[in-house]
Amino acid sequence: MKKINYLPLLIASAFVVNGCDYFDSTNNTIQESYNYRDNYVTKSINVPEKSHNIAYNLNLKKAYIKILRGLDSDKFIVSNGTIKLNIVPDYNKPQDSNGDNIYEVKVYIVDANGNDYLMLLRINITKNGSDSGAEENNTRNVDSDGDYIPDDIERYLGKDPHNSDENRNGILDGLEGDTLYNKQWYIKALGTATNPSDVPSIVGNDLNLQDVYKKYMGYNGGKSIILQIVDSGVDINHEDLKDNIDKTRSLNGVKVGDPTPGGIFQPHGTMLAGIAAARAFNGKGIRGVAPFAKIAGSNWLVNQSLDALEAAWYSGPGANDIAVTNNSWGTYYTADTFYEKIMAKGAKNLRDGKGRVYVFASGNARKYNADANIQYVINNRYALVVSAVKYDNTVASYSTPGANVWISAYGGSVSYDKGPTIATTYLSGESTKTWDSDKGGNYTYAMAGSSAAAPMVTGSVALLLEACPNLGWRDVKYILAKSAKQVDSQNPSWITNAVGMHFSRDYGFGLINTKAAIAMCEKGYTNFKTQKWASTELTSNSNIGAQKDVTITIQKDMKIEWVETTVNIDTQNASDLDIFLISPSGTKVQLVKSGTQIGENLIPTSDWMKSGFRFSTGAFLDESSIGDWRVEIVNKKNGSAILKKVSIKIYGH
């Protein structure tokens, strides 16, 4: 077997800036960066109806408290350091302004030390008998106090689900609690510089997860969503990962065991694990995209035993419950169907038949004119392929394009003098590219690559499956595609298909938008029925010349999910061909680009299409399959080439 290449992209040490005060996180607090005046500290209390003297005590000596006009301010008074409701509420006769039995008031407070802040006080009136006991059963995926931490996680951590600022520092508790959170522009861009570059992130260009965190963090009411990192292993004792590690499903080779890498040259999997699911609110480091999901690690890349890959992807202990697998590695050119055969079993049988989701990085070989569509590992329909976008929402200079790319996420800039890179966990104590405040050397700012983008999608899939656990693997892909955000819309790589889906070989359907994906599945989404397919083969045996167009008719009418085009071309110049597929609706997609090669890993034979090579794309999503499909082959150098056969296979419903 060819050596598998994985895709770490660490930045050259030559760019390290030493002793830069700017990156001292203690001097650059989230409070300064957020527009705090728009973020009221929210206090919520539940009170049974017909209670007298309902008051909220601020416990402030010599405090200045002023009720601001609006909402239900006319129902409140201030007295002796408390805010009091000036009525006796009756559940059946609400007197609040919008009649929802929640009395709200905004208050301006100056404490004895002269610190001022704004508070939103909410008094929730509960019907007699339905007091806090009922609330306990009904607060999963609810953020009662508006601090961006769901109630169930607050209880699990011993925090107060009705106090949004327990440490009274004026910052909502969900916006702090991880020392390097303000470096994670990919989760929440603050418009500040986050690595030894003076290029700031751009507010709004992030994964837009803050609202998602009010309900979902992967905790799932105590039955955490399990995601898997199949890579060079994961440092399971890392201070910011250990609480999320699933030891019963972590693999050392084919067996359950410790996947911690043996050497300092294998940090890659640990970096991915942090992006996907570093633990939040532990006072340490970062937080992952799904910060209360469980992480199952695998070190299969160390020895690259195919049995170890099979165990991780399908047959290992507890495999049924692993929701999503991250693969930030690739094979470059291959037509080996070994990989997709395992994924097919996982898609059919795991998660009680709903199917595991297999996420892959698209690769970092753009500068070699690489094309992600020349690897069967990632151009089969089970693979959810992720390309990389920079902080400015444009494609990263390394990100490998391809018609099989499904979605994009943040991969960071290629070097940190050019823009923000990705902050994440590193092998414990081994990091040299980190902030001064990381005394232990457990984190790095120097991650970049499609390797980093993939675990953002993996973590997002965990959040999506927490919100909507019944989604099948095809539904997950579909919802992510439909909800993806078109970025860099002037980029010529964008096409719009016949049903209005935007697609690009650089971005897939766009930048992942987890918030919109969850909103879509929560709105009463109906799962796809069983997948159908149709195929037609055409024997041609004709010279391609400078260009050859062939038409293939598909008789079956389906809504398209995935299209595979296999060409048998007898030529010594296969890499000189541009191949396009045009749907019956007229949508034209480039399946592969001429000149495709990958650095020293050149495509091994120049006649690599001779025995048939499959190219795939999801770009025709939701179009109708029926009618005439056209395959257009452009022979750039007009070398000798004979088209033997073409076949099209369409999957849909």
d(CA 409, CA 401): 13
Our finding on whether 506 is near Ca ion (CB under 5 A) is no
Residue of 489, 618, 527, 486 whose CA lies nearest to 564:
618
Query: Counting contacts by CB under 5 A, is residue 212 touching Ca ion?
Result: no
Burial (CB count <10 Å: 0-12, 13-18, 19+), residue 66 = exposed
Report DSSP state, residue 40: P
Coil, strand or helix at 332: coil
For Ca ion, the closer of residues 148 and 562 by Cβ is 148
The residue among 256, 184, 90 whose CA lies nearest residue 412 is: 184
Place of tokens 């050149």: 602
Residue 118 and residue 64 in contact, taking contact as beta carbons nearer than 8 Å: no
Q: How far is the CB of 162 from Ca ion (least distance, A)?
A: 7
Distance of CA 436 to CAs 21, 443, 444, 609, Å?
8, 11, 11, 53
Q: Which residue is nearest to Ca ion (CB)?
A: 178
Q: What does the per-residue mask of binding to Ca ion show for 264-283, with x meaning CB under 5 A?
A: ------------------x-
Q: Is the dihedral of CA 43, 48, 49, 50 positive or negative?
A: negative
CB 527, min distance to Ca ion, A: 31
- Which one among 178, 235, 340, 506 touches Ca ion, defined by CB under 5 A? 178
Give the CA distances from residue 241 to residues 87, 152, 260, 285, 452, in Å, rounded to whole numbers and listed in that order: 49, 20, 12, 10, 16
Q: How far apart are CA 193 and CA 215, in angstroms?
A: 29
Residue from 11, 65, 149, 463 touching Ca ion (CB under 5 A): that is 149
- DSSP conformational letter for 499: T
Binder to Ca ion among 104, 111, 152, 173 (CB under 5 A)? Answer: 173
Judged by CB under 5 A, the stretch of 69-77, 145-153, 435-443, 475-483 that binds Ca ion is 145-153
Minimum gap (Å) between residue 126 Cβ and Ca ion: 18
Closest CA to 404 of 507, 473, 551, 486: 507
Q: Which is nearer to Ca ion, 120 or 648 (CB)?
A: 120
Going residue by residue from 74 to 113, which x/- string records binding to Ca ion, judged by CB under 5 A? Answer: ----------------------------------------
Nearest distance from C-beta of residue 280 to Ca ion, angstroms: 6
By the 8 A CB rule, do 406 and 457 touch?
A: no
Name the residue nearer to Ca ion (CB basis): 101 or 163: 163
Which positions from 115 through 144 interact with Ca ion, judged by CB under 5 A?
A: 143
d(CA 406, CA 501): 12
Q: Which stretch binds Ca ion (CB under 5 A): 83-91, 163-171, 527-535, 595-603?
A: 163-171
Number of residues written out for the chain: 653
Residue from the set 49, 72, 104, 147 that interacts with Ca ion by CB under 5 A: 147
User: Shortest Cβ distance from residue 438 to Ca ion (Å)?
Assistant: 12
Residue 247 phi, psi dihedral angles, 5° rounding: -70, -25
SS (H, E, C) 93-124: CCCCCCCCCEEEEEEEEECCCCCEEEEEEEEE
- Least Cβ distance, residue 338 to Ca ion (angstroms): 37
Distances from the Cα of 26 to the Cα of 30, 176, 320, 420, 438, angstroms = 10, 12, 43, 19, 11
**Contacting residue, 171, 225, 598, 650, with Ca ion by CB under 5 A:** 171
C-beta of residue 141 within 8 angstroms of C-beta of residue 153: no
- Measured from the CB atom, is 156 or 265 closer to Ca ion? 156
Q: What are the phi and psi torsion angles at 197 (to 5°)?
A: -125, 155
Q: With respect to Ca ion, which residue has the nearer C-beta, 167 or 542?
A: 167
Specify the residue, 75 or 287, whose C-beta has the smaller distance to Ca ion: 287
The DSSP code for 472 is: -
Which of 106, 183, 284, 515 touches Ca ion (CB under 5 A)?
284
Q: Is 165 in the site for Ca ion (CB under 5 A)?
A: yes
Binding segment for Ca ion (CB under 5 A), chosen from 171-179, 303-311, 379-387, 628-636, is 171-179
For Ca ion (CB under 5 A), the number of binding residues is 15
User: Where does this chain touch Ca ion (CB under 5 A) — which range of 105-113, 172-180, 336-344, 474-482?
Assistant: 172-180
Told to check if 340 binds Ca ion by CB under 5 A, we report no
Residue 310 engages Ca ion in binding (rule: CB under 5 A): no
Could you count the other beta carbons within 10 Å of the beta carbon of residue 318?
Answer: 13
Is residue 206 involved in binding Ca ion (CB under 5 A)?
A: no
Q: Please report whether residue 167 would count as binding Ca ion according to CB under 5 A.
A: yes
Taking the complex as a whole, the smallest distance from the CB of residue 249 to Ca ion amounts, in Å, to 22
Q: Which of residues 235-264 bind Ca ion (CB under 5 A)?
A: 240
Q: State CA 408 to chain mean position distance.
A: 9
Q: Residue 123 CB, nearest distance to Ca ion (Å)? A: 17
What gap in Å lies between CA 101 and CA 209, rounded to an integer?
A: 29
Considering only 170-178, 252-260, 471-479, 520-528, which stretch makes contact with Ca ion by CB under 5 A? 170-178
- Which residues form the interface with Ca ion (CB under 5 A)? 143, 145, 147, 149, 163, 165, 167, 169, 171, 173, 178, 240, 282, 284-285
